[in-house]
Amino acid sequence: MLFILLMLLLLLFLIQLLQILDVLLQDMKKRVLSLGIHVKVSEAVKNLVCQQGYNPTYGARPLRRAITSLIEDPLSEALLYGECKQGDTVLVDLDANGNPFVTNQLDQIVNLSD
């Protein structure tokens, strides 16, 4: 009985963490959309952000930093290199090694993280 209760609490916590992440991602997507670029984020990247963006001491506060390092940094590099432009739709996903990368609608790799 206690195990079931703990599992339900963990599930509730994960749902809340994903809801917080979705709010933060919507804000980021709006900022990038102001540049004319649509951003999609894979579930794999969302899961990685939640894993790296949670701390038992600080809760979900580190989520913002994880979004920056795992999503915004690769996207910024792609923009700086001119690999994505106004009107593009880009997807942030993970490569086979678990590193985030950005692709455009043409399924062309735009930027690979180390």
Question: What pLDDT shows up at residue 11?
Answer: 83
Q: Give one DSSP letter per residue of 54-88, joined into a string.
A: -BTTTBTTTHHHHHIIIIIHHHHHHHHTT-S-TT-
Counting the structural domains of the chain, the total is 1
β partners of residue 13: none
Which CATH number fits the domain that encloses residue 11?
1.10.8.60
Q: How far is 83 from 5, CA to CA, in rounded Å?
A: 48
Q: Does residue 112 register a pLDDT over 80? A: no
Q: Does residue 69 register a pLDDT over 70? A: yes
Q: Does residue 55 register a pLDDT over 90? A: no
Stated pTM of the model: 0.82
Q: How far is 46 from 66, CA to CA, in rounded Å?
A: 10
Compute the average pLDDT of residues 30-34: 96
Residues spanned by the domain of 86: 2-112
